[in-house]
Structure 1
Amino acid sequence: MKTAVLVFLISCAVCAAEVNPSETKHTQCFCDGTLAMTVGALTEKVTNLIDKIAQVETKQQSTEKELTELKSITQGTPKVAFSAALYETGSGDTGPFNTATPLKYKKVFSNIGSNYNPATGIFTATVKGVYFFRFSMFNNLKPTPNSVVRLMKNSGHVVTVWDISGSDGNDMGSNAAALSLEVGDNVYVELMANRQIYDDLANYNTFTGFLLFTL
């Protein structure tokens, strides 16, 4: 674009140099004056146009850089997310067990990245980052509720949901946490010893997690 404008200006200068010297002095002065005014106005407009083109090119380069950075971030960020419920089929109580036991959420709704293992109920981080986890608990249909579950990071307790007393037949609760995980860290939901939970195809008991951002 800039080259075309410069060629146009050079053409105007050449035209000015080729004015017929045999014309009358009055006509020559008139033509020269008009030509000078025209070239001056065109030069000013072309200069303004070149400035605007430079500004547009600068904005375009900035936009292309931002798009490149955004594309790099989007393509480079691992996609990790899972969600699962306790039972694939049937209904009933889970527990009690003599010792604290990881719950195996076998009905998998999603498992992007394959970091969750439904055979063990354990999520294993393959990317260092901050993750969000949520779990829900529905207690057993007994005269007195007797349910305690907790979110575990490796062998350490994080947060708990419990319901071990009351006059009603059942209750439901949930809890959540954002955890900083290293590669290889495990996260799971644990049913405490001598406790029970109840579930059926309504999927009351669920375990969900996803990567918020890498570190």
Structure 2
Amino acid sequence: MEATVDFLEGKIKRMNDNTAVAVTTSDAVEFKMKSILKNMDEAAMATDDLKTRVTHMEGRHVSFSVQYRRNGNTESLKKETTLKFNHVYFNGGSGYDTTTGIFTVPVSGVYYFIFFIEGLQKKDDCVLADVHLYVDSWVVTVVYTGQHQNCKLMQASNAYINNLSKGQEVRLMTGTSCDEYTIVSYSTSFSGFLLD
């Protein structure tokens, strides 16, 4: 009988040892699970942050570069006429419309615009070029070349930087100092891009 008691005590001790090992293992697994869950939460937060940043960047690659090209070397335009640049080098964000000559801001932000105008003086009593950059209905900058006795062909350029809101419209229009302007093809261009 003593052998049976010793045998049973040995089994109980082994069971207690196995239980202690199981509890220790269970504690270790629980600790690892908590660590894994914490890492998963951190990864989910990082993923959410990345999604927010990507969403913010989507559609933010806005730029255009267009050129004035007509069948002849020049085209006469009446005063207060929107220049419709018909040759598109690039139109990222699809903001520039060749049929209207208007760039519609697709994404709010800080934009940079630059334009080059070449004008031909056909009448001695008029300027070579008078072109205004409009944002909506406001003139924000101008290029203007006056009358020149010895030069019938002149170039002028200007640039503009400002914070614009989605939906605002930007265009180039001839001025009002003459009834008609002659714009030279190929050397007249308009570009703009989103800085931030």
1:199 aligns with 2:185: yes
1:205 Cα deviation after fit: 2.1
Other-structure match for 1:139? 118
The offset of 1:103, in angstroms, is 1.6
Counterpart of 2:160 in structure 1 is 176
2:138: which partner in 1?
156
TM-fit CA distance, 1:88: 5.0
1:61 and 2:44 correspond: yes
- Number of residue pairs matched by the alignment: 184
TM-score (norm 2): 0.62
| 1:140–1:170 CA contact under 8 A, matched in 2 | yes
The corresponding residue for 2:124 is none
Q: In 2 relative to 1, CA 140–72 (structure 1 residues): closer, same or farther, beyond 3 Å?
A: closer
Q: Determine the structure 2 residue equivalent to 1:14.
A: none
Partner of residue 101, structure 1: 81
Q: What does residue range 1-215 of structure 1 map to in structure 2 within 5 Å? A: 23=7, 25=9, 27-28=10-11, 31=14, 34-35=17-18, 38-69=21-52, 73=56, 82-87=64-69, 89-92=71-74, 94-95=75-76, 97=78, 99-111=79-91, 116-124=96-104, 129-130=108-109, 132=111, 134-140=113-119, 146-164=128-146, 170-181=154-165, 183=167, 185-192=168-175, 193-194=177-178, 196-200=182-186, 204-209=187-192
- Equivalent residues of 2:133, 2:139 under 8 A apart: yes
Cα contact 2:112–2:195 (8 A) shared by 1: no
Residue 60 of structure 1 and its aligned partner are, at CA, apart by: 3.2
Conservation of the 8 A alpha-carbon contact between 1:150 and 1:158: yes
Distance (whole Å) between structure 2 residues aligned to residue 103 and residue 87 of structure 1: 11
The 1:51–1:138 alpha-carbon spacing in structure 2 relative to 1, beyond 3 Å, is same
Cα distance change of structure 1 residues 56 and 119 upon mapping to structure 2, 3 Å threshold: closer
Whole-angstrom CA distance in 2 between matches of 1:116 and 1:165? 32
Post-superposition offset of 1:175: 0.8
TM-score normalised to the size of structure 1?
0.58
Aligned partners of 1:30 and 1:106: how far apart in 2?
A: 92
Q: Secondary structure at the match of 1:104?
A: coil
Can you give the 5+ residue segments of structure 1 that lack an aligned partner in the other structure?
A: 1-19
2:84/2:101 contact within 8 Å kept = yes
User: How large is the RMSD of aligned CA atoms in angstroms?
Assistant: 4.4
Q: Which runs of 5+ in 2 are unaligned?
A: 122-126
SS at match of 1:123: strand
Cα gap change, 1:30/1:165 in structure 2, threshold over 3 Å: closer, same or farther? farther
- Give the Cα–Cα distance (whole angstroms) in 2 for the partners of residues 172 and 157 of structure 1: 17
State the percentage of identical aligned residues.
18
